[in-house]
Chain A
Amino acid sequence: MPTVRLRDASEYPEPARRLFELSKQWFDYDFKEPPAMSRVMAWDPHFGGPHGRAMKRAMAPGEFSRGEKEMVAAAVSGVNACTY
């Protein structure tokens, strides 16, 4: 059970909902509701915005592919003992 009540997408202001659209494009998946982390980040766009941009910058294809980086991210999450 999350510590906070995660708002539905419709409860967020329009700029945040545009971010949710970008999130859907990033994951290339049509979620019923935006992922929990996207909704958490949208709670404070002044934090979530740059944090998300840093993540996208780090995950963009470069010397390593997006797929290779997703696996690195999974390994990092694993050693951080995070099930999310």
Chain B
Amino acid sequence: MTGDDRWYEAAFVVGITNALNVVADGLGGAPMPQVEPETAPAEVRTIFADIRAFYGTGGPAADVLGGEIPMPFGLIAHDPGYLADVWAAVKRAFSERRLTRRHKEALAFAVSLTTRSAFGTAFHLGELRRLGVGERGVMEVVGVAQMFSSYTKIADTLQLSSDMADIAPADASGVPDPGAG
């Protein structure tokens, strides 16, 4: 375990969140039906059961989550092997390790909000609430996402170079800082 573990975990949450949002927002309104649990093959039903258990979709959060199975999983379940791999990655990314699950949901909510994902914003807002985050906590994440969506555009408009590199620990990777110069 190193100090980078938390950043790897965060990056995986951001990446897989975006992947789910791309399918849900992109295919949600397309004429592509979701695989329904009642008619799914056994291997898909097993995965769906694991998804339900992970998100607690049998409880009061089911409405927020858009039904028993979150939309992107129902959409990709037409290929059971692909669903199995994607779900394994999602479950791993969102499982509590160095970062708590509520922190990971905060990251996913902020990223979904910032990328204007209607599915992801509603889904992860539901998850935050299910995990006990109150309106104050939700507003904290909204505030961070909103303010840093402002700072980033101001920095980009003025083409500012990062001057925070001196604060961060030395990077031994040798990868050039794209913000330097």
Residues of A in contact with B (beta carbons under 8 Å apart): 1-4, 6, 27, 29, 31, 33, 35-37, 40, 51, 54-55, 57-59, 62-64, 68-69, 71-80, 82-84
* B144–A80 touching, CB < 8 Å: no
Within the complex, which residue of A3, A6, A76 is in contact with B149, where a contact is CB–CB below 8 Å? A76
Answer yes or no: B141 CB below 8 A from chain A CBs: yes
B157 on the A face (CB < 8 A): yes
Question: Contact at A63–B140, with CB atoms within 8 Å?
Answer: yes
Contact, CB under 8 Å: B152 / A71: no
Select B136's contact among A62, A74, A77, A79, beta carbons within 8 Å: A62
Classify the interface of chain B: helix, strand, loop or mixed: helix
B residues with CB within 8 A of A: 6-7, 10, 14, 18, 99, 103, 106-107, 110-111, 114-115, 133-134, 136-137, 140-141, 143-164, 166-167, 177-179, 181
| Contact B144–A76 (Cβ < 8 Å) | yes
Query: What is the bound-complex CA distance between A84 and B179, given in angstroms?
Result: 6
Alpha-carbon separation in the docked complex, A73 to B6 (Å)? 14
| CB-based contact B140/A37 at 8 Å | no
With beta carbons under 8 angstroms apart, the residue of B140, B152, B161, B178 that contacts A77 is B152
Question: Are the C-beta atoms of A84 and B145 separated by less than 8 Å?
Answer: no
Inter-subunit contact B160/A62 (CB<8 Å): no
A57: B residues at CB distance < 8 A: 143
Shortest beta-carbon distance from A48 to chain B in Å: 10
Bound-complex Cα distance A75 to B137 (A): 17
Leading 8 A-B pairs by shortest Cβ distance: A58-B143, A63-B137, A82-B152, A84-B155, A83-B179, A80-B152, A76-B148, A55-B147
**A-B interface contact total, Cβ < 8 Å:** 125
B13 nearest CB across to chain A (Å):
8
Tell me the nearest residue of chain A to B113, going by C-beta: A76
A53 to chain B, nearest CB (A): 10
Asked whether B160 lies within 8 Å of A37 as measured between CB atoms, the reply is: yes
B141 and A72 form a contact (CB under 8 A):
yes
Q: Chain B residues near A75 (CB, 8 Å)?
A: 10, 14, 107, 110-111
Flag if A35 contacts B163 (CB, 8 Å): yes
Residue in B closest to A59 when the chains form the complex, CB atoms? B144
B150 to chain A: which residues have CB within 8 Å?
51
